[in-house]
Amino acid sequence: MKLNLLKAIAIDDEPVALSIIAEYCRRLGDIELSVFSDPVEGLAAVKRERPDLVFLDVEMNGISGIDVAAGLPERTNFIFTTAYARFAIDGFELNAIDFLHKPFTFDRFSVAVGKVRELMRMRDAAERENPGERCEITLKVEYRNVKIPVSEIEYVESMDNYVKIHLPAGDPVVSQISMKEICAMLPEDGFVRIHRSYIVPVGKVTSYTRRQVTLSSGDVILPVGRVYADGFLEKIRSRNMSDCKSRTL
């Protein structure tokens, strides 16, 4: 077994598509793949096994892969595989790592897997820089490295190829980095993506619905995207349950 072996799950109701993914994984030689033709069983397996990577079809037996993706555990690395290019925008709104348009070549498949490896490398580097609970993140701002205490982040806003870190005092910090990259740097249990353009600290959400959240500053109300609503609510409820258990101990 190779040290950098990736554990992957493929979900697709077409046997031929699954066989192609399996063959490409075999050719790469460093992916341990499980396949599922039933999207419900596949989603359950992802939640149970927490693989490094998920290959996900969009149109499956009347079930939308978009809806399946919305139910994936937070920060699951997934790649959409579909014959319908019109779903690409929805896929990237859900933070898909890549979008493979069937029929895709082995070279294109290899590039997509490489993107997952790079994102995992960035996460590992962030963990090594700040082991345990990360107290700060470091962002490149023009020609400077700026350290930002995680506890001071009010929320993160996307602006094309930049992100804007809103802080309680002073001007926001703007850095040329993607939402995928900033997600990889932030503590997983403390932040949640609620919209294609917003990430918020779970502990600073004072009230919420499926459509919007209010942050502790009181004057900040942000929208919740439809495809992010279920994951956001699950994260909030899990945090509230954890807080309740801590108070009773």
**159 shares a domain with 235:** yes
The answer to whether residues 233 and 169 belong to one domain is yes
For the chain, what percent of residues have pLDDT higher than 90? Answer: 49
Number of domains in the chain: 2
pLDDT bracket for residue 63 (50, 70, 90): confident
Q: What is the structure's pLDDT at 238?
A: 76
* C-alpha span between 9 and 19 (Å, rounded): 13
Please indicate, yes or no, whether residues 117 and 210 belong to a single structural domain of this protein: no
Which of 100, 128, 156 corresponds to the end of one domain? 128
> Residue length, the chain?
249
Work out the angle at residue 120's Cα, subtended by the Cα atoms of residues 224 and 57, and round it to the nearest 5 degrees. Answer: 60
| Residue range 213-220: mean pLDDT, rounded | 85
Greater model confidence, 199 or 248: 199
Q: What's the mean pLDDT in 221-236?
A: 90
CATH number at residue 150: 2.40.50.1020
**Least confident span in 100-109, 122-131, 167-176, 216-225:** 122-131
Q: How confident is the model at residue 244 (pLDDT cuts 50, 70, 90)?
A: very low
Rounded to 5 degrees, φ, ψ at 3 are -65, -35
* pLDDT for 225: 92
pLDDT at position 82 over 90: no
pLDDT band at 62 (very low <50, low <70, confident <90, very high): confident
Predicted model pTM: 0.59
Specify whether 206 is located in the same domain as 116.
no
pLDDT, the chain, mean: 85
Compute the average pLDDT of residues 92-102.
Answer: 80
Q: Which of 128, 159, 193 is the last residue of a domain?
A: 128
Average pLDDT in the 218-232 region?
A: 89
Higher pLDDT, 245 or 98: 98
Give the model confidence (pLDDT) of 125-181 as tens digits: 766 655 444 578 889 898 888 889 898 999 999 988 899 999 987 789 999 988 888
188 band by pLDDT with thresholds 50, 70 and 90: confident
Region 90-97: what's the mean pLDDT?
Answer: 68
Contacts of 38 (CB under 8 A, 6+ apart): 13, 61
Of the residues 95, 128, 161, the one at which a domain ends: 128
* Full domain range(s) for residue 195: 136-248
Each residue's pLDDT tens digit, 20-43: 999 999 999 999 999 999 999 999
- Please check whether residues 98 and 151 belong to one and the same domain: no
Residues 118 and 176 in one domain: no
Q: What is the CATH number of the domain that holds 28?
A: 3.40.50.2300
Structural domain contains residue 54: yes
The confidence score (pLDDT) of residue 58 equals 86
| Percent of the chain topping pLDDT 70 | 86
The 3-state secondary structure of the chain reads CCCCCEEEEEECCCHHHHHHHHHHHHHHCCEEEEEECCHHHHHHHHHHHCCCEEEEECEECCEEHHHHHHCCCCCCCEEEEECCHHHHHHHHHCCCCEEEECCCCHHHHHHHHHHHHHHHHHHHHHHHHCCCCCCEEEEEECCEEEEEEHHHCCEEEEECCEEEEECCCCCCEEECCCHHHHHHHCCCCCEEEEECCEEEEHHHEEEECCCEEEECCCCCEEECCHHHHHHHHHHHHHHHHHHHHHHHC
Residues 6+ positions from 237 with CB-CB distance below 8 Å: none
Same domain as 112, residue 33: yes
